[in-house]
Every structure is written in C-alpha cells, then in structure tokens.
Amino acid sequence: MGMEIVRREMLADGQIVCYRFDTLGTQAAEEWFTDVTESFYNWPDGKPFLMLIDVCGADNFLSAEAMMRARQVSGLRRELEGKTAILIDKTESAENLVMFIDKALQSTRAREVFDSEAAAVEWLLKAD
C-alpha cells in the first residue's frame, strides 16, 4: 500500500486493524479495498474483526470509488463477527459520511462514528 495515501497498522496487540487515510480518492479506495479484502479472508475464524478507519486526514469526504468499495467490503465474510469504528475530524462536515455509513452499507457488523480515537478503540474492544 502507498504510505502517503492509506496506512495500515495493528492496534491493541493485534486485535484491531487500523487504516489511516490521507485522501479518500480513487487510488486510496483501490489500495484499501485490496488490503482489507485480504485481511478479511486471512482473519481467523471465531476472532471478531475489529477495524478502525481514520479519515481525519482526508477531510471526511468520500469519493464515488470509496463509496463503492466500502459497500463491497461491508458484504465480505458475513459470517465473521466484528465492529467498525470510523474516526472523523469533528471540525470538518461529516453529514454525508455519516449518512452513507448509516444508510448505504450492509448491516453485517456494528458501526459507529467517533471524533476521539481513544473512545473508538474502547468501543471496539468492549465485549457486546
């Protein structure tokens, strides 16, 4: 993956897959889709897939390609339990992003939007 566009890191001793975006354009969407698809299919059965998506550096703006790829990812491995936390910059408008997350994605796993990484990580690690 391109280090300037989207970066993957593991948080909480490998329990959380974190993607940090500098842009949500076509190239970032493609790189993320390739990597997250591989992560989903290599994730161990029985272990919840916890993902943090940090779009703070991307001004909370989704490209058409990013929306399409997010819809595709939301349907992967439906049997795999997990949660997704989306970290936004609260100083930027996020209405379209929040509406997309609430209305356009398949409801295969729980999703929440946060403006604090600590709160997002806490929510992800909290047992349901």
- Tell me the CATH number at 25: 3.30.750
Average pLDDT of the residues in 37-58: 89
In a domain, 13, yes or no: yes
pLDDT at position 52 over 80: yes
pLDDT at position 2 over 50: no
pLDDT at 64: 77
Q: Report the domain count for the chain.
A: 1
In a domain, 106, yes or no: yes
pLDDT at 61: 65
pLDDT at position 62 over 60: yes
In a domain, 1, yes or no: no
The amino acid at 8: R
Top mean pLDDT of 24-28, 52-56, 73-77, 117-121 is at 117-121
For 21, the domain range is 6-42+51-125
pLDDT at 10: 96
| Residue that has been written with the tokens 């600590």 in this structure | 118
Cβ neighbours of 128 (radius 10 Å)? 6
In a domain, 98, yes or no: yes
In a domain, 29, yes or no: yes
- Provide φ and ψ at 124, rounded to 5°: -60, -40
Beta-carbon contacts of 46 under 8 Å, excluding residues fewer than 6 positions away, are none
In a domain, 113, yes or no: yes
